[in-house]
Amino acid sequence: MKIKMTQHQQVKNKLSFKQVQNLKLLEMPFERLKELSDQLIESNPLVEIDYERANSIKKSDFEEILQFASKKKTLKEVLLEQLSYSEIKNRSAAEYIIQSLDSNGYLQDSEEELMNILRLDCSEIAEIIKTIQTFTPAGVACRNLKECLLVQLCFVDHPYDPLAIQIVYNHLDLLAKNKLEEIAKNCNVSLKEVIRAKKHIQSLNPKPGSLYEMKVEYKIPEVFIEVEENEIKVYLTAQRPFFKVKQVESMLDEETKKYVQEKTQEAYKVIKGIDKRYDTMMKVVKELVLVQRDYFVKNDVLRPLTYQQVGSRIGLNPSTICRCVQDKYLFYNGECILLKDFFSIHVYDGKSQHEMMREIESLIHHEDKSMPYSDQMIVNLLKKKGIEISRRTVSKYREQLKIPIAKMRKDG
């Protein structure tokens, strides 16, 4: 057997260290970039904040509010505060029960477990829990959904509703299945009365603790958009980091001079990388706004748009566009919107995902509530309009719109 060796040339696009660093900075969410900036200040004595540049950036109303926003209290802090001026005698036992509640405000320990841990009898435990259940938010310290809703119906400032209480106590399973006629028959009332009671029950909060965050997380937008007299203004967050490198005296020994040179080069690499990140983001967003102008000016639907289209217009690779918009937020019209939501991965007969969701929402909005459309019926209706879409996709978009299934939308 002969072994033959041949040579051939192959061109490979190998990224430089600088390019890799820039791409990493580009895909970083704002929170991670802020951490990196803090680390740079701590680890490099030559780097300092450039307040002159930072103060030159306009602050949006949203950022002014965020700057002075106080930390939202947790559920347990709110309950412990109410405990401090309550008439509960055994405060340490009450504190333990409050601390043991889950994030939704439900009691996790059984009565037997609490008796063993707190060394109290059944009636003492029940009395403490009963008092905590009078605290705000109504419905906390309950063992299950039924008890949670009953507590709210008894303590919330609503007109007393015996039918709603009866339905929750005896027919919660039927209500979950929307069997309103059966409930009306069992309770010996009209269907109209059951529908009214159902609306009352739906106004209650099944997870009262969720009103209070266990961990406060803010979505920090990096781009802000304002529309004034059909003119779209785009500007970057005032919270973006600005740095400058300190000038060091030239009279240094060789070892110190080498250290200063290394730290200076390191600082300039990161500073230039951050500037490049925001330059790229601004370029992408300006092109995005140009394409989606009708969305911002006329409140129209988003047009179909891909990373490839934007990349070809501004001379960037689609993967760079993807990195640029990943986990980044834009602030417009009072809300934080993910930048990637302005792009359509799926296009249906010339319609973007956003347009498709609006089509589905419109069909459901105008349906006969006595005979709401199933997902398959929506597929068929869209097909009549010349739009091909699968039932699974319709279900997915309906869920994203937070619209329940047909059975749960039915009245009567």
Domain shared by 324 and 384, yes or no:
no
Domain shared by 79 and 207, yes or no:
yes
287 lies in some domain = yes
Domain shared by 361 and 331, yes or no:
no
Contact residues for 291 (Cβ-Cβ < 8 A; gap 6+):
303, 305, 309, 310
Predicted TM-score (pTM) above 0.85: no
DSSP-assigned beta bridge partners for residue 351: 348
Domain shared by 197 and 315, yes or no:
no
Q: Which of 263, 173, 191, 217 is nearest to 74 (CA)?
A: 217
18-34 per-residue burial string, b: 16 or more CB within 10 A, e: under 16: eeebbbebbbbebeebe
Domain shared by 335 and 357, yes or no:
no
Residue where one domain finishes, among candidates 211, 241, 268: 211
Whether 305 contacts 351, CB under 8 Å: no
Domain shared by 245 and 314, yes or no:
yes
Name the 3-class secondary structure at 235: strand
260 lies in some domain = yes
28 lies in some domain = no
Domain shared by 337 and 393, yes or no:
no
Residue 231 to residue 227: CA distance in whole angstroms: 5
Q: 241 is in which domain, residue-wise?
A: 221-342
Domain shared by 207 and 87, yes or no:
yes
Residue where one domain finishes, among candidates 283, 314, 342: 342
Radius of gyration of the chain (CA): 30
Domain shared by 313 and 258, yes or no:
yes
Residue 26 to residue 301: CA distance in whole angstroms: 28
Give, for all 412 residues of the chain, the pLDDT tens digit: 444 444 444 444 444 545 656 678 888 888 888 888 888 888 888 888 888 877 766 666 555 545 444 456 788 888 998 998 888 888 889 999 998 898 889 998 888 888 888 889 999 999 999 999 989 888 999 999 999 999 999 875 556 789 999 999 999 999 988 899 999 999 999 999 999 999 899 889 899 988 775 544 567 888 889 898 889 999 887 678 888 888 877 667 888 888 888 888 888 988 898 999 999 999 999 999 999 998 899 888 788 888 888 999 999 998 889 889 988 888 888 788 889 888 875 556 667 777 788 889 889 988 888 889 999 999 999 888 888 888 888 888 888 888 888 888 887 5
Domain shared by 332 and 357, yes or no:
no
Domain shared by 230 and 148, yes or no:
no
